[in-house]
Amino acid sequence: MNESGRADSAQSALWNGSAGRAWVEGQPALDAMFEPFEARLVEAVAARLPRSVLDVGCGTGATTLAIARRHGPSSQCTGIDISAPMIEVARRRAQEQHATARFIRADAQEHVLAAASFDWIVSRFGVMFFDDPVAAFANLRRAAKDDAGLHFFAWRSAAENPFMTTAEHVARRWLPRMPRSAPGAPGQFAFADPARVRSILDASGWTSVWMEPVDAACRFPASALTQYITQMGPLGRALQNVDASTRERIVDDVRRAFEPYVKGENVRFDAACWEVSARSAQAMQVRP
């Protein structure tokens, strides 16, 4: 499969630029943070004994590699992500682990995947960034075998995830012009509305949609908190454009706001998410 990605896509520019580099640098802490969701996806896949799995928005490959370890050479695990820096790390990790997983650097919204080639498609927070989610999920549906499973996690609302919005909220005292995401726009909370998620999956040819709110206890080393504050999300991007003195004051202010989450050597918080599953019904016709 040839690698592809839209050079003019805002998401491509973001994830092949500062956001992609930040995730690479923060990989150990982010893997620890999202481990509860990785574990749930691995178990969901294990129940089906799949022969081929596609991990969408696989990032640096943690979930893809975890599934590959669980199933060994009996299953073919493929990760796809638009970010070249993250895919490079995923491939290196696979080589180091002698894993059978493979990785594609491409935009899953439009990359031509082999038709009816996967019997399980998963994602750990990787499906909320599509410019056209209906087109993206229709493309994934075409790559799914009849009666294949879809299983992913997406964030619920910003209001239900105060930890994830603390840095941005506090920093607006200093940076009131920091960009805000429009409801439903590509981004972390694009799938907050369950009715919208159901309509996207229905319009793109998926059926038997099931959604359940999940609140998971997450943690990562407190030693990584400053890196999280200064590199991740809207604040991480905004800090690239401020002078050193202002940056230091903003980071100090934001770090104090995170103190309630610091418990000993770890940062701990509850993540409010949707766990979503669906099926690709036999001979389902994707709507134009």
pLDDT tens-digit readout, 11-54 = 899 999 988 999 999 999 999 999 999 999 999 998 888 899 99
Name the H helices within the chain.
Answer: 10-15, 18-25, 27-33, 35-46, 62-71, 84-97, 133-143, 162-171, 194-203, 225-231, 233-238, 244-257
The half-sphere exposure of 246 on its side-chain side, counting CA atoms within 13 A, is: 12
The distance in angstroms from the start CA to the end CA of the chain is: 25
How high is the pLDDT of residue 217? 97
Enumerate residues 6+ apart whose C-beta is below 8 A from 56.
Answer: 80, 108, 121, 122, 123, 126, 127, 140, 152
C-alpha 69: how far from its chain's center? 20
How high is the pLDDT of residue 179? 83
Strand partners, 120: 53, 149
Axis crossing angle, helix 62-71 with helix 35-46, rounded to the nearest 10: 40
Angle CA(203)–CA(61)–CA(144) in degrees, nearest 5?
A: 30
Question: What pLDDT, in 10s, does the model give residues 249-267?
Answer: 999 999 999 999 999 999 9
| Residue 21 identity | R
* Coil, strand or helix at 115: coil
How high is the pLDDT of residue 285? 46
Percentage of the chain modeled with pLDDT above 90: 82
Question: Which secondary-structure segment (H or E) carries 158?
Answer: none
Its pTM stands at 0.92
- Tell me what the mean pLDDT of segment 191-211 comes to: 97
In whole angstroms, what is the distance from residue 281 CA to residue 21 CA? Answer: 38
CATH numbers and ranges of domains, the chain: 10-157+189-221+272-279 (3.40.50.150)
Residue 287 pLDDT level (bands cut at 50, 70, 90):
very low
Average pLDDT over the chain reads 92
Residue 183 pLDDT level (bands cut at 50, 70, 90):
confident
How high is the pLDDT of residue 1? 39
Q: Is the pLDDT of residue 286 over 50?
A: no
200 neighbors 133 (Cβ within 8 angstroms): yes
Residue 282 pLDDT level (bands cut at 50, 70, 90):
low
